[in-house]
Amino acid sequence: MSDTQAAPESTRALLARKGVLHTRALPPLDQIHRSVGSILATWPDVVRKPSAEDREKLALNMLFRVQNWKWDDVTTQRVISAAVAVFDEERRERADLRPVRDFYLAEISTCDRGAFLDGMVGVYVDSFAPGAAHTRTLAQALAVRSADIGGRNRKLTDALPSLFRPDEAPKELAKVMLGAEHPYETLKTMGLSTPHTSGLAKAAHHTFVERLAPDLAEADARSKLFNWLAPENGPVLQTGAGPAIEAVLAVWRDRTPSDALRNELSELIIAGWNDPRLHTGGIWSGFDPDLKSVLLRWMTREDMEFFCNIVSLSQKNHMWPPRRDFWLSMHDDGRIDEAWVAFSADAYETATRQLRRQGGAATRFGKQVGIQDLSLLVMRIGNKIVVDGCHNYKTHIFRIDDPKAPKLYRLRYDAVEIRTSSKLSQTHYWSESRKLAVWETWVEKKCLR
């Protein structure tokens, strides 16, 4: 047998002596992925955004370095922090800082992959503004280097292929949000560490709300919107939230939601953006007055119901139920324009506990301090202010221009002061001969004048 014929047999014998071969399997990577996710959650940004007070100093310092080409004692993090300042809304069009902006664009095109390039992606995303010149120039520069982007931003560029196409990126991101049950969490998963403050997400927000608006009569669409506006594990969106809340209320401009839905929406809106009766700033400063009136109408009904329920818990005689039914009927007939509640000390505590159980805000009512165990309902009916109280307290009516008329939405009322200031009042009594609530007729007659 030749050597060439014997070789295979020798090989077989050698393999036989080696025994069974084992394949080494890779360990599970789940723990590694969780660790990476934990690190990104703890340190979401490569560079911490500078405070508003520090930004001008950073920008001017970078201008000095560029003009004098002095780079001693400077770190990449400081250079990126300065970029945040140079490209923010206040400074991105300043003529004196143009050399600095040109420097950053040149560095993007020539730098090695790493912290600087990845940091500039963050600057682009956070300073994004549709149609802005700085957005377009940053996008063009970064698009050329897209293959070199890594770290935290690689995930974003993979999830959003149009990232460096400024006309398309907000629309594509809005599409992602529309397809997600929890848009805020989805954007964080994609690599946007603070979705509400990202300029790109702000641009996508407008398209998201616009496309979602026609479906907001449906529970799923409303849930998706509020999961974005007020996420369970994130802050409540303030800037830009006004049009979104207007879109919610616009659905009910000419129709009335169920009591349960009305109460749910009222509480969600108040919890996130404050009671418009007590706060005029925030989203309420430029809010559509007609749509605000829809919310005020809901809150009036809700507060009247709440007042009546709390009083019913403490009033066990036959006098209160007819008065309760009368006022609620007046509201449902569109006669009561606004209403506010002031509880006695004990009723205030009861109301606070009940609202907390329901997830509501205790600032939804005031306190009555003049007469023990007396709660007040303060209403505007046309050009009249009407005050009614439980027990034997009379109904009092003031003209709205009367300087002594109680003001709505105060946190403190004195029932004695109201009673002594009133020139027009009526006891709650019935005409036994006619079985007629005389005081109800009196209220309707006086309020129509």
pLDDT tens string 139-177: 999 999 999 998 778 999 999 999 999 999 999 999 999
Tokens of 353: 């506990």
pLDDT of residue 431: 63
pLDDT of residue 421: 96
Is 273 a member of any domain? no
Q: Calculate mean pLDDT across residues 421-447.
A: 81
Q: Are residues 210 and 339 in the same domain?
A: no
Q: Are residues 308 and 362 in the same domain?
A: yes
Q: Which residue is it, tokens 């109460």?
A: 263
Q: Are residues 231 and 347 in the same domain?
A: no
pLDDT band at residue 360 under the 50/70/90 scheme: low
Is 152 a member of any domain? yes
Is 347 a member of any domain? yes
pLDDT of residue 346: 87
pLDDT reading at 359 higher than 70 = no
pLDDT reading at 376 higher than 80 = yes
Among the listed ranges 170-179, 309-318, 415-424, which one has the minimum average pLDDT value? 309-318
Predicted TM-score of the model (pTM): 0.80
Among the listed ranges 35-44, 107-116, 377-386, which one has the minimum average pLDDT value? 35-44
Q: How many residues does this entry show for the chain? A: 449
CA distances from 431 to 435, 438, 439 (A): 5, 6, 9
pLDDT of residue 75: 92
Q: Are residues 130 and 59 in the same domain?
A: yes
Q: Calculate mean pLDDT across residues 228-246.
A: 96
pLDDT of residue 355: 77
Element (H, E) at 65: helix 52-68
The mean of the pLDDT values for the chain is: 86
Among the listed ranges 13-22, 251-260, 299-308, 417-426, which one has the minimum average pLDDT value? 13-22
Is 34 a member of any domain? no
pLDDT band at residue 250 under the 50/70/90 scheme: very high
> Among residues 226, 256, 286, which one ends one of the domains?
256
Element (H, E) at 180: none
> Among residues 256, 283, 316, which one ends one of the domains?
256
- In DSSP terms, 388 is beta-bridged to 377
Percent of the chain whose pLDDT exceeds 90: 64
Q: Calculate mean pLDDT across residues 384-392.
A: 91
**Is 79 within 8 Å of 70 (Cβ atoms)?**
no
- Measure the CA–CA gap between 241 and 206, rounded to whole angstroms: 10
- Measure the CA–CA gap between 338 and 232, rounded to whole angstroms: 32
Is 113 a member of any domain? yes
For residue 171, the enclosing domain spans 47-256
| Phi/psi at 285 (5° precision) | -65, -35
Q: Are residues 342 and 228 in the same domain?
A: no
> Among residues 203, 234, 256, which one ends one of the domains?
256
**Is 272 within 8 Å of 241 (Cβ atoms)?**
yes
pLDDT of residue 432: 60
pLDDT reading at 2 higher than 90 = no
Q: Which residue is it, tokens 């300065």?
A: 82
pLDDT band at residue 435 under the 50/70/90 scheme: low
Q: Are residues 58 and 156 in the same domain?
A: yes
Q: Calculate mean pLDDT across residues 393-417.
A: 95
pLDDT reading at 12 higher than 60 = no
Q: Calculate mean pLDDT across residues 395-414.
A: 95
pLDDT of residue 43: 42
Q: Are residues 309 and 226 in the same domain?
A: no
Structural domain count, the chain: 2
pLDDT of residue 361: 56
Q: Are residues 110 and 246 in the same domain?
A: yes
pLDDT reading at 41 higher than 50 = no
Is 165 a member of any domain? yes
pLDDT in tens, 119-138: 999 999 999 999 999 999 99
Q: Are residues 310 and 439 in the same domain?
A: yes
Q: Are residues 249 and 352 in the same domain?
A: no
Percent of the chain whose pLDDT exceeds 70: 85
pLDDT of residue 316: 64
pLDDT of residue 140: 97
Is 262 a member of any domain? no
pLDDT reading at 406 higher than 90 = yes
pLDDT band at residue 428 under the 50/70/90 scheme: confident
Q: Are residues 219 and 110 in the same domain?
A: yes
Is 18 a member of any domain? no
DSSP alpha helix (H) spans, 251-375: 259-273, 289-314, 320-332, 345-358
Residue 19 Ramachandran class (φ > 0 left, ψ -120 to 50 alpha, else beta): left
Q: Are residues 252 and 311 in the same domain?
A: no
